[in-house]
A and B are shown apart, each in its own frame.
Chain A
Amino acid sequence: MSETAPVFSIPVLTIDRATYDAIVAHARRDHPDEACGVVTGPEGSDRAVRFIPMLNAARSPTFYEFDSADLLALYKQMAADDEEPIVIYHSHTATEAYPSRTDISYASEPNAHYVLVSTREPDSAEFRSFRIVDGVVTEEPVSVIET
């Protein structure tokens, strides 16, 4: 770290192009139902490395939920690999890419970037990222690394 490095880092989601495109593709594929998944990475690294699309057990255009058994398997795998969820994503299929009240009430990974993708427009996807901590939503910039 250089001597000029800032003391406080500005929150930002840094994500590579392939992962960004995979999240959007998943959202499109499951439209009009909501799509959901995670991108995991080494604990404490804030690096979104491993794209893992999940099944929306609710199969609903207005709700999503990771299947209970899939959720346990995911967390076991992350624990075995010293990983954590870096990105938790889901789509909104008829509304803007902003956390709903339900999203906020369920959000329980204070270190994760909550990504919302809206597929309401057929030709363009809205892709936004948020921190959700103790019920407070803070939008952050998304920096896409071209690969």
Chain B
Amino acid sequence: MAIEVKIPTILRTYTSGAKAVDGKGDTLSALIDDLDGNFPGLKGRLITDDGGLHRFVNVYVNDEDVRFTGALDTALKDGDAVTILPAVAGG
């Protein structure tokens, strides 16, 4: 069992074009570290230098925006589905 992570178009350069990849981790933070081991550079596109989630991306665990569930501390378990989407925003 693993956690399926859906990857948006803009980040598929890191996953050899794959739309979805598998990862593991007890928290979103651990999952992102695991993904970065297999797809180096991905973490830098999701997490800022200050260690928070980048405002340019939205991350969902089982359709819940993680901003409302503890952000990077959001707990994960096998079988969860994670979706990463680019925020559509501007000024």
Contacts and interface: CB of A to CB of B under 8 A. Distances in A.
A binds B: yes
Contacts of A99: 90
Contacts of A101: 91
Contacts, number: 65
Interface residues of A, number: 29
Interface string A52-73: 0010001000111110110110
A102 B90 contact: yes
B89 A106 contact: yes
Given A69-B65, A72-B63, A108 B86 contact: yes
B90 A103 contact: yes
Contact of A108 (B56, B60, B63, B91): B56
Interface of B: 8-10, 56, 58, 60, 63, 65, 67, 83, 85-91
Closest 10 pairs (CB-CB, A-B): A102-B91, A108-B86, A103-B90, A65-B89, A66-B88, A108-B10, A100-B91, A68-B65, A106-B89, A106-B90
Interface of A: 36, 38, 54, 58, 62-66, 68-69, 71-72, 75, 84, 88, 90, 99-103, 105-111
